[in-house]
């Protein structure tokens, strides 16, 4: 029995994500919000599903347990995710302020890029509203994890990627995405060259789609798949199941558990993607990583250096 709002529901991600969540039996109420075309999307989905509402922002985010935000502009070839900051930062600020005012206890999952900055923005907005709980704020990095499993299986020549779990830590942009291939479960044997190629492909998987779409946007269908998986994990955890998902969180959500990743190279960064055990209150604990190898430790250091500026940029915008 979970109420969910999707903000940006008429977009390339929002539409398939709305449909996938409507097909999730545990979602008893789905509120759709966008600045364009939401009545059309709601009418369309309502012909195969019930309990769906599209409306004004305040109404859409009232009485919800989970808000998912894919609102904002996507990249075109030649752009970085950071180039989206100018437009998406303000969109995320407005939407999170409305959630804070109307459903202060809702779990907030942010898809809008640049995630490395939009999550810190959201944290500042929630703090200013006096309702910040670091256990309830997530940057959705599930697509990196989905890609990691898929691309490893492509190399190994096997079709089913679903059961392979590759931890991905850091952030959600280029070098800040750090796949820990040596810690995959079940373990996979990879040559040095395979590791280097796979790491690069996972880090820059988003660029592959942006290039292939050639100006028509970035990943939407794989992101809707990943977003629906993340939402389902949160929803199952709210219902008492133990579920682990790597996701970009404030390390203050589990200060004790964060010590390991801080010692591995995250240092004093406030936000980092880590494997998180989800629970009824959001973050239950950060799951211990084990021992990344030297190649991965070096990549974590590079990611941490880059993340520092993106986080600071988000915090500054969120406080202004
Ligand atoms: N986290 C990830 O892994 C990941 C993956 C893919 C895309 N993204 C990001 O998701 C975002 C959306 O991508 P898309 O392909 O769906 O874009 P899109 O342009 O197809 O859709 C975005 C939607 O947001 C809506 N919107 C704009 N301002 C809004 C506002 N103030 N309130 C509500 N809705 C608003 C637009 O009307 C549009 O329908 C982009 O920033 C993209 O970079 C993130
Ligand atoms: O690449 C992008 O801009 C979209 C998204 O962050 C992705 O990883 O596909």
Mean pLDDT of the chain: 96
Mean pLDDT of 293-315: 98
pLDDT at 46: 86
User: Looking at residues 256-284, what average pLDDT do you find?
Assistant: 97
Pocket, ligand 2, Cβ cutoff 6 A: 74-75, 81, 113, 143, 206, 209-210, 218-219
Ligand 1: residue whose CA is nearest its atom 22: 11
The complex's ipTM works out to 0.99
- For atom 3 of ligand 2, which residue has the closest CA? 75
For ligand 2, the distance from its centroid to the CA atom of residue 159, given in whole angstroms, is: 23
Structure-model confidence comparison of residues 137 and 53, the more confident one: 137
Determine which of 57-61, 139-143, 159-163, 268-272 has the lowest per-residue pLDDT on average.
159-163
Domain ranges of the chain: 2-139, 142-319
pLDDT at 1: 83
Which pLDDT does position 57 carry in this prediction? Answer: 95
Average pLDDT over residues 33-62: 86
pLDDT score recorded for residue 314:
98
Write down the pTM of the prediction. 0.98
Pocket test for ligand 1, best of 6, 68, 73, 173 (most atoms within 8 A of CB): 73
Query: What percent of the chain shows pLDDT beyond 70?
Result: 98
- 142-319 belongs to which CATH class? alpha beta
155-195, pLDDT tens digit by residue? 988 777 778 999 999 999 999 999 999 999 999 999 999 99
Which tops the pLDDT comparison, 45 or 307? Answer: 307
Is 13 annotated as ligand-binding? yes
The CATH class of 2-139 is alpha beta
Q: What is the mean pLDDT of residues 308-312?
A: 98
Peptide bond into 186 cis (omega under 30): yes
Find the mean pLDDT for residues 109-135. 98
Question: pLDDT tens digit string along 196-220?
Answer: 999 999 999 999 999 999 999 999 9
């Amino acid at each position: 029995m979970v109420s969910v709002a999707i903000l940006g529901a008429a977009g390339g991600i929002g539409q398939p994500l709305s449909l996938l969540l409507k097909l999730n039996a545990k979602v008893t109420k789905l509120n759709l919000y966008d600045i364009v075309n939401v009545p059309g999307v709601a009418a369309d989905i309502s012909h195969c599903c019930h309990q769906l509402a599209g409306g004004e922002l305040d109404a859409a985010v009232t009485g919800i347990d989970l808000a998912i935000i894919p609102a904002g502009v996507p990249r075109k070839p030649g752009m970085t995710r950071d180039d989206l900051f100018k437009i998406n930062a303000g969109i995320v600020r407005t939407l999170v302020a409305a959630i804070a005012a109307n459903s202060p206890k809702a779990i907030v999952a942010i898809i809008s890029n640049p995630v490395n900055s939009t999550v810190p923005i959201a944290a500042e907005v929630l703090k200013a509203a006096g309702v910040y709980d670091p256990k309830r704020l997530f940057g959705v990095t599930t697509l990196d994890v989905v890609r990691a499993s898929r691309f490893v299986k492509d190399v190994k020549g096997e079709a089913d990627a679903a059961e392979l779990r590759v931890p991905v830590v850091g952030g959600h942009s280029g070098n800040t995405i750090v796949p820990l291939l040596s810690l995959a479960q079940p373990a996979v044997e990879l040559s040095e060259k395979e590791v280097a190629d796979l790491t690069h492909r996972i880090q820059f998987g988003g660029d592959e789609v942006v290039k292939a779409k050639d100006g028509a946007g970035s990943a939407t269908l794989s992101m809707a798949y990943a977003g629906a998986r993340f939402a389902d994990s949160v929803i199952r955890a709210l219902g008492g199941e133990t579920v682990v998902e790597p996701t970009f969180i404030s390390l203050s959500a589990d200060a004790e558990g964060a010590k390991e990743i801080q010692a591995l190279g995250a240092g004093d960064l406030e936000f980092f993607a880590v494997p998180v055990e989800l629970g009824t209150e959001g973050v239950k604990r950060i799951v211990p990583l084990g021992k990344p190898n030297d190649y991965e430790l070096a990549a974590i250091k590079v990611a941490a250096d880059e993340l520092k500026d993106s986080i600071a940029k988000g915090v500054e915008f969120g406080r202004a």
